[in-house]
Amino acid sequence: MAGDPLQEVVLTTKLDKVLGWARKYSLFQYPFVTACCGMEFMSTSASHYDTDRFGAAFPRFSPRQADLLMVVGTITHKQAPILKRVYDQMCEPKWVVAFGVCATSGGFYQNYGSVPGIDCFLPVDMYIPGCPPRPETVIDALLKLQERIQNQRHAVL
């Protein structure tokens, strides 16, 4: 509408889009680090690769303050109830990333001890392959996750 003074100062959009935009750039992650993938996770979050550039770096060590659960490393059957509890403590909305093959599928562990992939008891949004994954792979997954967050529905009560 030409000549509408509101057009100069107001941006119209959808609520879903605004919330998606806000949430994808303020991912607070809870790193659940159990194994060697942790080293790669550290190098990815530290200054060389710096996931902070994508608004997805701030680690919270309380699940209650986090909305992205990074499961980094092998999950054993002994560990599984702990991880489930951490997930249950997180507030909605929340996302889960399986970092590395062990979290994704159990990796080369196929025995009495290991969970064959955390998707056996958690809903996983993004799987990152690799043993361990390269930082570029992790960043790619983060960007894809952000894209998904941007485009998903954000229910508002």
Partner 1 sequence: MPKNSASPLYDVLKPVFGDKIEARQELKGREALRVSPAALLEVVRHLKNSLGFDFLMDLSGADYSGYPGHQGDPLCVSYQLFGATTRARAWLKVYLPLEGAMVDSLSHEFACANWYERECWDMFGVHFKGHPNLKRLLLYEEFVGHPLRKDYPIMRMQPLIPMRNAVDYESVAVARRKEAEEASAPKAGN
**Where do contacts with partner 1 occur on this chain (CB under 8 A)?**
77-78, 80-81, 84, 110-113, 115-117, 119-121
CB of 71 to partner 1, least distance (A): 15
Instruction: Give the number of C-alpha atoms closer than 13 A to the C-alpha of residue 115, restricted to the C-beta side.
Output: 23
Q: Identify which of residues 20 and 107 has a Cβ nearer to partner 1 in the complex.
A: 107
Rounded to 10°, the helix 135-151/15-24 angle is 160
Q: Identify which of residues 65 and 110 has a Cβ nearer to partner 1 in the complex.
A: 110
CB of 105 to partner 1, least distance (A): 10
Indicate the Cα dihedral angle 23, 53, 36, 77, nearest 10°: 0
CB of 115 to partner 1, least distance (A): 7
Contact 83, 76 (CB under 8 A): no
CB of 119 to partner 1, least distance (A): 6
CB of 82 to partner 1, least distance (A): 10
Q: State which H helix or E strand residue 87 sits in.
A: helix 80-89
Measured between its terminal Cα atoms, the distance across the chain in Å is 32
Q: Identify which of residues 13 and 111 has a Cβ nearer to partner 1 in the complex.
A: 111
Distance (Å, whole) CA 142 – CA 152: 15
Q: Identify which of residues 55 and 116 has a Cβ nearer to partner 1 in the complex.
A: 116
